[in-house]
Structure 1
Amino acid sequence: MHKFTEAGGFDGQDGSENETVLTDDRCRFALYDLISHFHPVPVYDLADRLLAWERTRNDERLTFEEVQERLRDDHLPALQSVGLVETTTNGTRYTASRRALDFESTIRELEADTPAEE
């Protein structure tokens, strides 16, 4: 089981150096997308939006199935392991956790208090 660390990352199962879930662009996109939706999101909807976003930012051409598989097998479980994402009872839909919503609220407050750069 992964453990949440004080630095905002998580310890890998194999005891390797800390990895930070939020340094992964796809994890960040998935979390942002889930935060912006009130109802639990099916993986296929999330995969569709992630695929469209990826096509605007890089040349890597993944298929819908590859994106969906990576979300289901890697990114969503990583976010879930650190308490930022929750799944429905049947495991087909995901939602941002209370912790993720609190995290997002804190970031917005900090950004509001930071003066804009000129």
Structure 2
Amino acid sequence: MRFLSRRLVMPNDLNFAGSLFGGRILEWIDEEAYIYASCQLDQKSLVTKHIGEITFDASAFQGDVVEFGLATKAVGRSSLTVTCIVRNKGTKQNICTADDIVFVHIDPETRRPQPHGKTKEQLDQQQIDLPR
């Protein structure tokens, strides 16, 4: 799993208890997973269809830097399923895991699912070819 981006936990990201609000982290996961899926498929017309199990393991606090690890789990005809792990950059402790995030490629005019033309093998090869 590659950790591709980071965010700084700011005061407006906190809940009443002073830790990172769960809704904010879910917003970030959806955005980060979309960016990942969009880059993998080289497509912009993707919609979030499903987010499976979400597990919160630890808290993050103001000033913490969190990082997002994303990986391709499955590739369908018009869909891409990814997994996202959010961890504390400093401690490497997992904060949250969101599994089975499904994006569907749609035709922008009809808003109906449309094949994206990629296979799991192509995407795996694409990951190997990326500079480290």
TM-score range, shorter chain: under 0.3
Q: Which has the higher strand share?
A: 2
TM-score calculated relative to the size of structure 2: 0.24
TM-score calculated relative to the size of structure 1: 0.26
